[in-house]
Amino acid sequence: MFAAKPLSAFKSEVSGLVFRLPSPATGHGRRSRAVVGRPSKVSGGGGWVRAAVSGGDNKTVEAEKPVDGKDLNGSLPSSSSSSSSSSSSSSSSGKLDVRAVISIRKKIRQKLVDKIEDSLESFMNGIGQGIMLQLVSEEVDPVTQSGKTIESSVRGWLPNPSLHSYVAEYAADLRVPQDFGCPGAVLITNLHGKEFHLLEIVIHGFSEGPIHFPANTWIHARKDNPESRIIFRNQAYLPSQTPVGLRDLRREDLLSIRGNGKGERKPHERIYDYALYNDLGNPDKDDDLARPVLGGEERPYPRRCRTGRPPMQTDPLCESRIEKPHPVYVPRDETFEEIKQNTFAAGRLKALLHNLVPQIAATLSSSDIPFKCFSEIDKLYIDGLLLKDEEQNEAKGNLALANLMKEVLTVGERLLKYEIPAVISRDRFAWLRDNEFARQALAGVNPVSIQILKEFPILSQLDPAVYGPPDSALTKDLIGQELHGMTVEQAIEENRLFIIDYHDMLLPFVDKINSLSDRKTYASRTILFYNPAGILKPIAIELSLPPTRFKPCNKRVYTQGHDATAHWLWKQAKAHVCANDAGIHQLVNHWLRTHASMESYIIATHRQLSSMHPIYKLLHPHMRYTLEINALARQSLINGGGIIEACFSPGKYAMELSSAAYKSVWQFDMEALPADLIRRGMAVEDPSAPHGLRLILEDYPYANDGLLIWSAIQEWVESYVNHFYSDPGSVVSDVELQAWWDEIKNKGHYDKRNEPWWPKLDTKEDLCTILAIMIWTASGQHAAINFGQYPFGGYVPNRPTLMRRFIPQEDEPEYEKFLLNPQHTFLTSLPTQLQATKVMAVQDTLSTHSPDEEYLGQVNQLHGHWISDDRVLELFERFSHKLEDIEKIIDTRNKDKRLKNRTGAGVPPYELLLPSSGPGVTGRGIPNSISI
C-alpha cells in the first residue's frame, strides 16, 4: 500500500511552481474520456485564494482565484490550532494532498511568435484551462472494477526556471484518498489549440518518494483528437504481472496506436502500420520516374511505415509523393527533435552550398564536366568552389541564378571548402596502393563483403541458359602465377585466399545499367592473397558482362602486371570494383540490412509491446529517429531521380538491386556478428578463444572491435532478460512478446515469412539472441558502415560511386587515347564534378553526429528516470563501464605496431567502433539508434 505524506513535507522536492494551496480534486470512479476533457467542477461554498509563483527575479507574482473551502491565504482549514503539519494537510474525510509536476519542453530557439504563444499557454495553464490530469491507481475501485482515479487541472501563472532554459514546469494538486494505492498511470488532456511536448510527470507526496512518469512525447490537442493520452509510470511489467487497475489501460494504449491499413495519416497522429515500398517513383511527374513497387513475390522487401496517401493518377498501385520541403508522415514521436532538426538542416544547407555552383556552372556551360586532373579534386579541399568571372557576369543577368548566388556565396566569391577526408589526410597517395585497397576491405566503410575462398573452381549460381557458362575466368593457372610459388590448393588449405564476389548479385542488372547514359559497369570478382609476410593484397580481378551471340564468355581478368600499361589497367579495374563495392555497400549492407530491416522491428515494437513492457523499455533507445531518417531517405535519397540514383552505379535500378539482395541473401539469424563472420568463413567456432570465435585473419579491425561490442550487448541483454523472465515458461506465456515476434515475421518481413531459418521464441536464450541482433544492427553494425562514408568516400578516386567508361581494349579506338594519356582516361571514367560534389555533400551529412546524439551505454539526462528498477540500473551501469573499457582496448590496439591495418606510416587508426564521440564528422562513435 502506498501512503501519502503531507504537502508541506515535499514542497522542497518540487523544482517547479510552489503554490500556497492545492487545487480541488474530484472523487474517483470509472474513467470517462468525456469527463477527462472538462475542467473539474467545485461544489459547496465559494471563497478566494491567492496563488503565488516564484519568478526568476525572486519576485512573487500573485493573483486571486476562487477556490472552495479555503481561506484567503490558501491554507487548508485545520481541525485545531495545535494540529501538526501532517494533520493540517488532511481533510476530515481522510484524504491527503499530492502534487503532480509536469515538465514541458519549449523551443530552444524562440521567435517572437513562439514567446507570445508560450505566454498565452502559461496563462491558460494558470487559470486551469490548459491541461487536465487524471491520476489512475494500480488498485481497483470495487464499485467501478477499474483503477481508482483522481482528476485535476494544471494551475499556475508562470513556469519556474528549471535546470534547462527550454524546459517549463507546471504543477497540479490532487486530493487523494488514503487507500488510493500506488499511482500507475496518468491520463493527460491538452485543452490548448496546439500540441505540446511532454517530457515527464512527477508525482510528489507519497511516502516512497517521487513517482516518475517518463513521457518524452507530443500531446495532441483535444480539437485534433478527443482521446486523452495515457502515460505509465516507470515500472516495467510483463503482461501477466500488470496490476489489475492498469490492465484495461495497457490494452487500450496499444490499440490506440495500431493502424488498420485505412485512412491517410495526419501529422499529429501516432499510428504505426505497414505498407509496401510504393512511394519511390513519381510517374505523375515524368514517365521516366516510374519505379516498381517493392514488396511481394516478384520483388520482396521489408515493409515500411504506412502513410496512407492517395494513389498516383497514372499508377493506382503507387502512392502519391510529397516533395521537399513538405514532410512525409511518421508517427509524431518519431520526428527529429529541435537540435537534430537544426543539425540536419545545416547538413542540407551544406549540400545546397556544394551542389548549386556545379549546377550553375553546368547550366551556363550546357554540360556537366569531368575532372581533368587530380589538382581539380584537391581544390575542393584547398580553395573551395569558384565561379569564373565571365560566368558570374552572365549569371548576374539571370535573376534566378543571381538569387541563388546570393544564397550560396559566402566570403566574396568563395564557397565553403570540403574537409580533407581521413583516407588521404595522412597520405595523399595511399589510395593508389594495393595493400590500402585490401586494408579497406577489413577496416574501411564496407568491411562485411570479404569472405574466404573455400573451393575451386569458382562457379556462378545463375541460370547458365541466360547468363552463360558458370565457370569463372579466374583459373588455377592465373591465380597460381600470383602466389609466389604456392599452389592454389595449398593457399586454400592454409586459409590464404579471399574473395569479394559481386558477380551473381550484379550480372542480372549489368545490361540495364549500361543502357543508362554515362554509366558503365561490370559484374566483378576480386581475389585477395594473404602472403607469408602477413600482408593482404588483391592479386586478380574478374570483370564480366552478360554473354552475347559473339561473346558467349564475356569475361576478362586483370592482374597487377609489371609494366606501365598493365599498372594503369589494374588501377581502372580496381576503380570498377570500388564502384561496385560502393553500390552494394549503400543499397544492401547499409540501407537494406540496417535502415530498412530495423524499420519493421520498430513498427512491431510499438504495435505489440506496451510502453510498460520490459522489452519495450530495453529497445526504446534503439528506435530513436529511425523512421524519420528513413522517410527522408525515401523522399530524396533512394527515390526515383534521387541522389543515390543520380550518383551511384545502379542508377534507376538501385532499389530493384536492393530487393534482389533481400531475396537472395538476407537472413535474420545471419545478422548476428558471430554468425555473419562464420558464414563468410572469416571466423570459426573455438570455445577456447575470446567470444568463442577464432578469426581467420587476426588483424581484422571490424571483426575484432565488433566482437567486443557484440559481446557487451549480449551480456547486457542476457542479464536484463534473466532479471525479468525468471520463470522457465515466462517467454512462451508472454502474449505481447509472442505477438511482437509473430508480427515481425508475418507482417514486417511478410515476403520471408515462410523461411525455415527464423529463430523460434520459446526460451530466454532465443529472446536474448533476437534482441542482441536488433540492438547490434541499430548500434554497432550501423555505426561501422555509416560514419566512415565521408572519411573514405570523400576522396573520389579512392571510392568512386560509379564509372562512366569501360576499360579500353586493344581493338578499340579509345585504347590509343588511353596509351597517350592514361590519367585522362582514368579521371574521365570517374563521376563528374557535379556527381562527385553531390555525393561528397551527402556523405558528409550522413557521417555527421548531431549534438543531441545518444550513444551506446549512455542515457540522456532528460530521460534519466526511464525505469524504476534499481537492479536494472545497476546492470546498465555495468554495461556502460564495459563500453568504457572497450574504448580503452581499441585505443591500445590502434597503437599496436604489430597491427598493420591500424598503424603504420600514413595509416589512419580504426575508430569506427569506438563507442563515444563528439558532434560532427568524427569517424567514431556508436549511437544507440540509426539516427542518420
Closest residue by Cα to residue 833 from 422, 345, 374, 294: 374
Q: Is the pLDDT of residue 440 over 80?
A: yes
Please give the Cα distance from 579 to 839 (Å, whole number).
Answer: 13
Grid cell, residue 494, equals 592454409
Amino acid (one-letter) located at 791: P
User: What pLDDT is stored for residue 111 in this prediction?
Assistant: 77
Residue that the C-alpha cell 554468425 belongs to? 675
Q: What cell was used for 550? A: 559473339
CA atoms within 13 Å, Cβ hemisphere of 921: 22
Let me know: does 767 contact 238? Beta carbons within 8 Å.
no
Whether 590 sits among the annotated catalytic residues: the reply is: yes
pLDDT in tens, 538-553: 999 999 999 988 787 8
Query: Looking up cell 517547479, which residue turns up?
Result: 16
Which amino acid would we find at residue 767? L
pLDDT band at 33 (very low <50, low <70, confident <90, very high): very low
* 55-69, 351-365, 613-627, 656-670: range with lowest mean pLDDT: 55-69
Residue 99 sits at φ, ψ, to 5 deg, of -130, 135
Q: What is the per-residue DSSP string for 12-54?
A: GG--S---SSPPP-----S--HHHHTSPPP--S---EEEEEEE
Cα(701)–Cα(442) distance, rounded to whole angstroms?
A: 6
- Among 204, 585, 613, 782, the active-site one is 782
DSSP 411: B
Per the residue annotation, which of 28, 204, 212, 590 is the catalytic one?
A: 590
Catalytic residue from among 28, 354, 595, 691? 595
In tens, the pLDDT along 204-216 reads 998 888 999 999 9
**Whole-number Å distance between alpha carbons of 689 and 872:** 29
Q: Mean pLDDT throughout 569-573? A: 98
The span from the CA of 251 to the CA of 258, in Å, is 11
Express each pLDDT in 754-779 by its tens digit: 999 999 999 999 999 999 999 999 99
Give the contacts of 204 (CB within 8 A, at least 6 positions apart).
10, 13, 14, 98, 99, 100, 101, 210
CA–CA gap between residue 840 and residue 789 (Å, rounded): 9
C-alpha cell at 335: 520526428
Indicate if the alpha-carbon torsion angle 418, 422, 424, 426 is positive or negative: positive
Q: What is the identity of the amino acid at 914? A: L
Question: How far is it, in rounded angstroms, from Cα 865 to Cα 794?
Answer: 41
pLDDT (0 to 100) of residue 404:
45
The answer to whether the CB of 75 falls within 8 A of the CB of 85 is: no
Q: Residue 786 catalytic?
A: yes
Backbone angles phi, psi at 583, to 5 degrees: -70, -45
* CA torsion, ordered 593, 597, 602, 603, to nearest 10 deg: 170
Q: Which residue has the higher pLDDT, 582 or 862?
A: 582
| Alpha carbon separation from 633 to 278, 340, 437, 779 (Å, rounded) | 14, 16, 29, 19
> CA-to-CA distance for 904 and 899, rounded, in angstroms?
9
More confident residue, 411 or 849: 849
Lowest mean pLDDT among 234-243, 391-400, 478-487: 391-400
> What pLDDT score does 837 carry?
84
The strand pair at 183-190 and 229-232 is best described as: antiparallel
E strand map for 467-549: 497-501, 523-530, 536-544
Strands 497-501 and 304-305: unpaired
Q: How far apart are CA 571 and CA 589, in angstroms?
A: 25
- State pTM to two decimals: 0.87
93 CB-contact burial (10 Å; exposed 0-12 / middle 13-18 / buried 19+): exposed
**pLDDT mean across residues, the chain:** 85
pLDDT digits (tens, 9 = 90+) for 382-423: 876 554 444 444 444 444 444 544 444 443 444 557 889 999
Residue 503 bears catalytic tag: no
Is 595 an active-site residue?
A: yes
In terms of Cα–Cα distance, which of 155, 168, 152 is closest to 126? 155
Q: 791 Cβ partners below 8 Å, 6+ apart?
A: 421, 422, 423, 445, 847, 908, 921, 923
Among 670, 697, 671, residue whose Cα is nearest residue 683:
697
Choose, from 786, 798, 894, 901, the residue flagged as catalytic: 786
Let me know the angle formed at the C-alpha of 650 by 648 and 656, rounded to the nearest 5 degrees: 125
pLDDT tens digits, residue range 319-334?
999 988 889 999 999 9
Share of the chain above pLDDT 70, in %: 83
